[in-house]
A and B are shown apart, each in its own frame.
Chain A
């Protein structure tokens, strides 16, 4: 309990720093720390799957994205040039937000203990899914439709990001150019780290059916490895019009849809799996989904096409 109190104090302190810091860059650094601390909190809440996602995606990839943005936008007008809301507005907002916090806190204290839960149901049916990690069972079987729609959400976010390209660079390479320095330290690190990271990513994905892990966590690690390699200039993103790239992007959701629709024929319903083959079918979905999510995440961080295609 003493550990928990310390952790909560730290989380709140870092969160306040993130909101209050004068420099945007400092605030982003605070946010990354906030994410890592939250990952610890998730471990304390007996949710290791979420802890991994929080650390990899919520803190790591989001943090990287925001860090990149804050340095890119660093040359903008200082905070002084921006109209600050008046003191009365700030006071009103502070009162409102305090009320929200107080209300939520009261609700937390009123919360039923034990809370209503679906854990027994999830466990009672888990044999039919062929999985033994209940979180993966929820993601891939009980609520597979959410996961399917979510892969589409990611894809659409990427289409949205790409839509922000300038017309003349459409068909070009995403993101800024990173010069390769064959003797640079980053190159050295990338050469060592990336193969290990890819291995870890695949392991995390693979172990997801029986232990904490899964396609989102694995895909995030894979995406991060690609980002490191591209920062070191070892790889570059392909032009956004490449057919194989587009195929890699939709392979996951498309196969998810296809197997879902096949469920009409083989299991009597959309996204239903016949019990004997459930595990195999889920794996057949997960492999391309991991690939597609990893590609999408990496390209979301890279940003819209910025460099005209080489002729």
Chain B
């Protein structure tokens, strides 16, 4: 039976258990050990993630696991296809980078436990476990629990410093997230009522174009959009992402908002591939386009560097949703063999690396200067050359200039738009690139200028942290060397293979 558990499926369990167990151990042993535990779990987690990726790549098949040996619809399945594996590896690498970077900020006092470091490491590990659960989840309710876990780990990261403005931002974030999850759950309930299962693979075989399915997909998509902060549901994002400590901002902007996006992709292309109509997909694309233009324009007007980067996230999330109008029901082949689908996924990954690096740059600058006002950046490239260089590398991805992952992603979206005769998306991609160029250069011009008076540094930044940031930014650049066409890894386990031998 093709739908049985596969060898190596236990790795999927480990991908969730390891970080969560680390978080619980940190809670028991207390603040003094939290950092050490996190730094032990991280390399192990990367090994698991890479192993998952390697198995999926080598066997050219999905990795599947039935928890408790109960197969769906009664039990819950975990399932990693090429897309999941890619996201899992991305998350593992990024979390490691962020962990190394955060050591200096959340290092531990030797004698007494302190609140912020303890909480930070526990939350970081839990975010990781929850992300893995989202990426391999195959059951809509299991995914609901995973999404809530992700939310409860992400929200306190925002208000770690306990200032009134970050508390407000965290509360608003939580309320938006709860609004999103309740709509998502409502959709899942409707699907169970109509088809008697919550398993995505089984659903994809049973679903038909009828009112219940339509209502479910609309409700779930709207809920997930609120969590992914797609315009006009983005209001919570800039204060939350800009207010969090910079390692936390990197996690939130780089990874956490990608989880709901990932689920929208799953819903539209895996669960109900035959359902979405072009008109509905155009609406989603339209919101994406509005996000790109609006987010970029507002980013241009920001005074503080972190807010600029946060608004740029609003814009970059918009690109992700351009894949829907271009990949839904293509004239030839499957949605996931289109350039747009690959471009969208690649945008998610390269933005993760680029944006994480840029938030860390902002953190380093704020640590060194004591502020992150863009107008006061003059001379900073002299004292933090590697850091400013990393910002520029990340900026390449945002603008979509070669060589960078962002370039490949946006080029694919562009060609897909032209090929599909939907030229308006091409205009949006190009305009967004120009505007991104505007706000990146706005920062770089200030940073590269000579200071009128010698800079007064509050603290020196260790070369190690600068190196971490540079490596992450470099990763976003290296993604630019993947071939400019739909590539194989992302295709593994797409429904055309799975449906062939439907269980």
Contacts and interface: CB of A to CB of B under 8 A. Distances in A.
B434 interface: no
A241 B118 CA distance: 11
A159 B123 contact: yes
A145 B20 CA distance: 13
A271 B67 CA distance: 6
A184 B455 CA distance: 65
A160 B27 contact: no
Nearest to A171: B113
A167 interface: yes
Interface string B152-192: 11011001101000010000000000000000001000101
A163 B159 contact: yes
B148 interface: yes
Interface in A248-282: 249-250, 253-254, 257, 260-261, 263-264, 267-273
Please indicate which of the listed interface residues B65, B116, B141, B194 has the most CB atoms of chain A within 10 Å of its own CB: B194
Contacts of B192: 116
Nearest to B216: A107
B159 A241 contact: no
A150 B126 CA distance: 13
B74 A142 contact: yes
A270 B13 contact: yes
Given A112-B194, A247-B28, A164 B162 contact: yes
Contacts of B145: 146, 149-150, 153
Contacts of B10: 264, 270
B17 interface: yes
Contact of A243 (B13, B28, B126, B190): B28
A254 B24 contact: yes
Contacts of A269: 5, 66-69
Contacts of A243: 28, 30
B190 A107 contact: yes
Contacts of B73: 118, 121
Interface string B69-109: 11001111000000000000000000000000000000000
A122 interface: yes
B69 A250 contact: no
A272 B71 CA distance: 12
A146 B188 CA distance: 15
B367 interface: no
Contact of B67 (A144, A153, A261): A144
Contacts of A146: 76, 141-142, 145
Contacts of B69: 267-269, 272
Interface string A144-181: 11100110110111011011111100110000000000
Contacts of B113: 170-171, 241
A141 interface: yes
Interface in B109-153: 112-116, 119, 122-123, 126, 129, 133, 141-142, 145-146, 148-149, 152-153
A79 B326 CA distance: 47
A81 interface: no
Interface residues of A, number: 57
A111 interface: yes
Contacts of B156: 159-160, 163-164
A125 interface: yes
B126 A122 contact: no
B235 interface: no
A107 B28 contact: no
A309 to B, nearest CB: 11
Interface residues of B, number: 57
A145 B72 CA distance: 13
State the main secondary structure of chain A at its contact with B: helix
B370 interface: no
A156 B126 contact: yes
B341 to A, nearest CB: 30
Interface string A206-226: 000000000000000000000
A82 to B, nearest CB: 14
A246 B27 contact: yes
A97 to B, nearest CB: 12
A176 to B, nearest CB: 19
Contacts of A272: 68-69
B196 interface: yes
Contacts of A153: 145, 148-149, 152
Interface of B: 5, 10, 13, 17, 20-21, 23-24, 27-28, 30, 65-70, 73-76, 112-116, 119, 122-123, 126, 129, 133, 141-142, 145-146, 148-149, 152-153, 155-156, 159-160, 162, 167, 186, 190, 192-197, 211-212, 215
21 contacts: A104-B186, A104-B215, A110-B212, A116-B195, A144-B67, A145-B67, A146-B76, A146-B141, A146-B142, A149-B142, A152-B24, A153-B145, A153-B152, A156-B152, A159-B122, A170-B115, A254-B24, A267-B69, A269-B66, A272-B69, A273-B68
Interface of A: 103-104, 106-107, 110-112, 115-118, 121-122, 125, 141-146, 149-150, 152-153, 155-157, 159-160, 162-167, 170-171, 241, 243, 246-247, 249-250, 253-254, 257, 260-261, 263-264, 267-273
